[in-house]
Chain A
Amino acid sequence: DTAVSQTPKYLVTQMGNDKSIKCEQNLGHDTMYWYKQDSKKFLKIMFSYNNKELIINETVPNRFSPKSPDKAHLNLHINSLELGDSAVYFCASSSWGGGGTDTQYFGPGTRLTVL
């Protein structure tokens, strides 16, 4: 069973287009994330949602808009795509609790290429 899934795995599109990436987790976790990994493999958090509520919104252009219809889903919509948006986008989910049980699981990633 896939714990964290993302669709699509690959996305090739033209500058100026609008696209969405979907993410679903079946782990029962309360918190979900979007990360961007650039060509240098640096992983940077973009957003974090806890129980459908936005918790973290790092310095990300407002062309990026996350949406969480329920706590098992966190989608990412990108408007007016730019060349610099080309990267691998990872969705992740986590649970944490007392006694040090922080764990984070990643989806397989979506490779976005903007032409």
Chain B
Amino acid sequence: EDKVVQSPLSLVVHEGDTVTLNCSYEVTNFRSLLWYKQEKKAPTFLFMLTSSGIEKKSGRLSSILDKKELFSILNITATQTGDSAIYLCAVVRDYGQNFVFGPGTRLSVLP
């Protein structure tokens, strides 16, 4: 059965800390891996990764994929209270129409 596992499920840090969120997967017909940030409402898209070893960056956030070991990490440097959210990892399989989501990591950044 296809599955996406995220760790840790919950994380509390202080502003300025650096965090690493993990996502591992076992899916058939892997196509791409996506990271989302969910605050109070709908998930918002962060990154899409398709190739191993190529880092995607956006400000203080970066992510990389390892298709051999079947995992991805999301790094957030110099965290701010506005980074507090649930971070969701999703794997797209088949022809891009099937998204399998992980349970999410709840990040809390304290002042």
The residues of A with any CB-CB pair to B shorter than 8 Å are 31, 33, 35, 40-45, 48, 50, 55-56, 90, 94, 96-97, 100-109
Contact = CB atoms under 8 A, between A and B. Distances in A.
B101 A43 contact: yes
Chain A's interface: helix, strand, loop or mixed, by majority? strand
Interface residues of B, number: 26
A29 B62 CA distance: 27
B104 A41 contact: yes
Contacts of A33: 99
Contacts of B106: 41
A11 to B, nearest CB: 16
B7 interface: no
A113 to B, nearest CB: 17
Given A41-B86, A96-B96, A102 B34 contact: yes
B42 A106 contact: yes
